[in-house]
Amino acid sequence: MATPKKKVSKSRRNMRRFAAGNKLGKTTITPCSACGEITRPHRVCKCGAYNGKQVLPAKSVAAQA
C-alpha cells in the first residue's frame, strides 16, 4: 500500500472533507401542534406540549420576564 511522503496539514485535510460532502445539513424545524411556535422535532415545546399532548405544566409568559 502506498505511504504518504509528507504530512497532510489540518487545513488541506479539512478542505478535502468539506469537498467530499461531509458538511452538516440544515436543521429541521416544525411548528408546535399546540401553540404554533417553531421547534425542533422530537422535543418538548416551551408550552409543555409533545406529540399533541400536554406533558409538562405550561410556563407563563409573566414568569419568564
The tens digit of pLDDT for each residue in 19-40 reads 777 777 888 999 998 899 999 9
Where are the domains positioned within the chain?
Answer: 29-57
pLDDT at 18: 79
Please indicate, yes or no, whether the overall pTM of this predicted structure exceeds 0.85.
no
Burial of residue 45 (CB within 10 Å: 0-12, 13-18, 19+) is buried
Does the pLDDT at position 63 exceed 70?
A: no
Kind plus residue range of the DSSP H or E element containing 53: strand 53-54
Per-residue confidence band for 59, with pLDDT thresholds at 50, 70 and 90: low
Q: What average pLDDT does the chain have?
A: 85
